[in-house]
C-alpha cells in the first residue's frame, strides 16, 4: 500500500530562459570555463515542464494579490546593511537583471516547501534564498570542491547529516532530504554562534575557520561580529551576497527586477513506493516524462530508485492519486525488469557488471554472493532497465555524456586513463589545466581517476598533432617507499610528483590516519622525470 505526504510547493510558470550563473563583483561576464567548472553537472534545464492546461504555456500568468514572495518578505529577519560589500553585490546582480527571474523559475518547484520548513522551525526566510548563491537553485549543480545539490554539501558533511550516498542515490541532490539536512546544520551553527551572520559564514567556511577568527579578534580586543573578522575572501563576500539577494527580493521594483509571481499554495507530494522501481516505469504510471520525474527526484543517479531506499518519489499532487492506484496494482517484483545470465568461461563479476550497466556490489547483493568467485554454467539474476540508457536523460551517465559531447574550441581527444595517471600529469602532458580537464568531464579536480576511465581533452595548439602535444608517454614504475620519521602523505606526494589522493588510492589508506615510521607504501613513479 502506498502512502503520500503533502509537500507545500508551487505551481510552475514556464518562462523561456537561457543559462545563467551567479554574477560576481567583476564587471566582466564569467567565461565559459568558469561556468563549466561552477556547474559541471548542471544540465541547463531552466524550467520544470509539468502538465498544464492547454494554452497555459502561451499565456501570461495571472497576477495574484499575494504570493510566495510576500510570504518570504514577511519572514525576513536579517538586518539590511549599508556596506560597500553589499552594495557591490547588489550592483553585480542589477547588471544582469534577468538572472533573478531565471533563478526564481528554477526555484519554483521547491521554494514553497523550503519556506514552510523554515517557518516550522522559526528560522529566517532569508535562508530560503541561500541556494541562490550556493547553486543558483540547480539541484544537479556540482562544484570543483565536490559539493553537490541545491545546498552544496560536500560528501563528508552530507554523510554527517544523514545524506545517503550510493551508486544508486545521492541524498545531497535530493531536494527534500538535503533541505532537512541544511536546516539542521544551519540551526546547529546558529545555536553555537547565536548570530545568523556568523552561522552563515560558518556554513561557507566551516566552524573552525570562524572560531579561529573570533579568537584572534578577542586576543586583540577587537569586535567579534562578522563584519569585523578577518576571513577568507570567499567568506567575506558570502553574507553580503545573501544580503544583496535579500534586498532584491524585498524591493524588486527599486532594483528593476521582474520576479515571476509564485502562488503560495501546495504543488508537490511525496509518495511512499515501498520498493525499488524503474524510473521510466514510474513515469509511465504517473503519466509524466522521465525528465520531469528526474527533475523532481534529482537524488536518483541511475535508471531506478535505490533498492535499499529511500522508497519515496516526489510527484505533482495532480498526478499522485492515479500514480498510487497504478502502483498498487503492480506487484513489487514487476517494478524492475530482471534477466537471467548464464555465466560463460572467462566471465567475471566485473565484466558482467559492465555488460549490464550495473556494479559488482549490486550483482553480489541481488544474488546473495559472499565473494567474487563465480563458476561457468551458473546463473545470475541481473536487474536491467526497461528502456535504453539514453532514455534516462538525467541519469549520471547521460549527464556526463552530454558534458563530454559538448562542442568546445580545439580538437577533441579521448584519453583512456592508465594506472598511475593523475589529473596533474595529464594537464602537463596536454598543456592544459586540471580545472579544465575536470570541467570537460563533469568531475572535480579533487576527484580520483580510475584506470580505464575515458577523459575528453580539448587540444588547443593549432597545427600540432596529438602526439606532439601530449609529448612522450609517461613511463611509470612501481616502487616501495619506507616511511621515515616526520613524513606525511603531503611530503611524500610532493617528493614523487603525485597527489595525496593517489597515495591513498594506491595503498588503501585513510587521510585521517597518521603514517608510521617503517610503514611500506606503493608509489607509481614517473621515471621520465629528471629527478626525484
Q: So which residues are the catalytic ones?
A: 134
Helix (H, G, I), strand (E, B) or coil at 358: coil
Burial-class residue 326 by CB neighbours within 10 Å (0-12, 13-18, 19+).
Answer: middle
Burial class (CB within 10 angstroms; exposed 0-12, middle 13-18, buried 19+) of 407: exposed
Cell reading at 353:
557488471
CA distance 275 to 168: 14
Q: Which of 286, 290, 314, 301 is nearest to 393 (CA)?
A: 290
Distance, in Å, from the CA atom of 409 to the CA atom of 400, rounded to the nearest integer, reads: 19
HSE-up (13 A, CA, CB side) for residue 87? 3
H-type alpha helices, 95-195: 99-120, 130-135, 155-160, 175-193
Q: Hey, is 15 helix, strand or coil?
A: coil
Helix (H) or strand (E) holding 281: helix 279-286
* Rounded CA separation 49/134 (Å): 24
Instruction: Supply φ then ψ for residue 3, to 5 degrees.
Output: -130, 150
C-alpha distances (whole Å) from 387 to each of 69, 79, 290, 303, 403 are 41, 52, 11, 9, 22
Cβ-based neighbour number of residue 80 at 10 Å: 12
Cell (9 digits) for 180? 532537512
Antiparallel, parallel or unpaired: β 520-526 and 476-482 = antiparallel
* Nearest by Cα to 151 from 168, 167, 128: 128
Three-state SS at 522: strand
Residue 55, sorted as left (phi over 0), alpha (psi -120 to 50) or beta, turns out to be left
**234 to each of 38, 102, 148, 242, 443, how far by Cα in Å?**
14, 24, 18, 12, 22
Closest by Cα among 119, 51, 165, 113 to 270: 113
CB-based contact 68:75 (threshold 8 Å): no
Residues in the chain: 532
- The Cα 112–Cα 130 span in angstroms is 14
Query: What does the block give as the cell for 137?
Result: 537553485
Grid cell listed for 385: 532497465
DSSP state of 169: B
CA distance 104 to 451: 42
Amino acid at each position: 500500500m502506498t502512502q503520500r505526504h503533502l509537500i507545500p510547493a508551487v505551481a510552475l510558470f514556464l518562462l523561456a530562459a537561457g543559462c545563467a550563473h551567479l554574477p560576481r563583483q567583476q564587471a566582466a561576464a564569467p567565461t565559459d570555463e568558469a561556468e563549466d567548472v561552477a556547474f559541471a553537472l548542471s544540465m541547463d534545464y531552466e524550467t520544470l515542464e509539468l502538465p498544464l492546461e492547454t494554452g497555459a504555456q502561451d499565456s501570461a500568468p495571472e497576477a495574484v494579490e499575494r504570493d510566495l514572495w510576500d510570504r518570504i518578505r514577511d519572514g525576513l529577519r536579517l538586518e539590511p546593511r549599508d556596506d560597500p560589500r553589499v552594495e557591490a553585490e547588489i550592483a553585480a546582480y542589477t547588471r544582469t537583471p534577468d538572472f533573478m527571474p531565471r533563478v526564481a523559475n528554477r526555484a519554483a518547484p521547491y521554494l514553497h516547501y523550503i519556506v514552510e520548513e523554515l517557518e516550522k522551525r522559526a528560522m529566517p526566510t532569508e535562508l530560503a534564498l541561500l541556494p541562490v548563491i550556493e547553486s543558483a537553485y540547480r539541484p544537479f549543480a556540482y562544484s570543483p570542491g565536490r559539493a553537490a545539490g541545491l545546498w552544496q554539501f560536500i560528501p563528508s558533511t552530507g554523510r554527517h547529516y544523514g545524506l545517503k550516498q550510493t551508486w544508486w542515490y545521492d541524498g545531497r541532490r535530493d531536494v527534500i532530504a538535503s533541505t532537512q539536512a541544511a536546516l539542521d546544520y544551519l540551526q546547529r551553527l546558529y545555536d553555537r554562534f547565536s548570530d545568523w551572520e556568523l552561522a552563515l559564514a560558518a556554513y561557507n567556511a566551516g566552524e573552525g575557520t570562524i572560531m579561529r577568527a573570533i579568537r584572534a579578534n578577542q586576543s586583540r580586543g577587537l569586535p567579534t561580529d562578522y563584519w569585523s573578522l578577518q576571513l577568507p575572501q570567499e567568506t567575506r563576500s558570502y553574507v553580503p551576497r545573501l544580503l544583496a539577494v535579500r534586498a532584491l527580493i524585498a524591493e524588486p521594483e527599486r532594483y528593476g527586477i521582474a520576479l515571476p509571481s509564485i502562488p503560495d499554495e501546495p504543488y508537490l507530494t511525496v509518495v511512499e513506493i515501498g520498493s525499488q522501481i524503474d524510473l521510466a516505469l514510474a513515469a509511465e504510471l504517473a503519466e509524466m516524462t522521465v525528465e520531469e520525474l528526474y527533475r523532481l527526484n534529482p537524488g536518483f543517479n541511475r535508471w531506478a530508485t535505490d533498492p535499499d531506499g529511500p522508497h519515496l518519489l516526489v510527484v505533482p499532487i495532480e498526478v499522485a492519486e492515479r500514480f498510487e492506484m497504478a502502483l498498487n496494482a503492480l506487484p513489487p517484483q514487476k517494478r524492475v525488469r530482471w534477466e537471467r545470465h548464464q555465466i560463460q568461461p572467462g566471465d567475471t563479476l566485473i565484466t558482467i557488471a559492465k555488460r549490464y550497466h550495473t556494479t559488482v556490489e549490486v550483482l553480489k547483493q541481488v544474488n546473495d554472493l559472499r565473494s567474487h568467485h563465480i563458476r561457468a554454467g551458473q546463473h545470475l539474476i541481473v536487474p536491467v532497465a526497461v528502456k535504453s540508457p539514453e532514455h534516462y536523460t538525467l541519469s549520471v551517465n547521460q549527464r556526463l555524456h552530454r558534458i563530454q559531447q559538448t562542442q568546445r574550441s580545439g580538437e577533441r581527444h579521448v584519453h583512456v586513463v592508465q594506472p598511475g595517471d593523475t589529473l596533474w600529469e595529464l594537464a602537463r602532458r596536454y598543456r592544459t589545466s586540471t580545472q579544465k580537464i575536470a570541467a570537460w568531464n563533469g568531475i572535480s579536480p579533487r576527484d580520483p581517476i580510475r584506470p580505464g576511465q575515458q577523459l575528453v581533452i580539448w587540444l588547443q595548439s593549432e597545427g600540432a598533432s596529438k602526439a606532439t602535444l601530449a609529448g612522450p608517454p609517461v613511463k611509470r614504475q612501481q616502487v616501495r617507499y619506507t616511511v621515515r620519521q616526520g613524513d606525511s602523505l603531503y611530503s611524500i606526494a610532493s617528493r614523487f610528483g603525485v597527489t595525496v589522493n593517489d597515495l591513498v588510492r594506491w595503498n588503501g589508506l585513510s587521510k585521517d590516519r597518521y603514517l608510521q615510521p617503517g610503514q611500506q607504501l606503493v608509489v607509481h613513479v614517473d621515471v621520465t622525470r629528471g629527478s626525484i
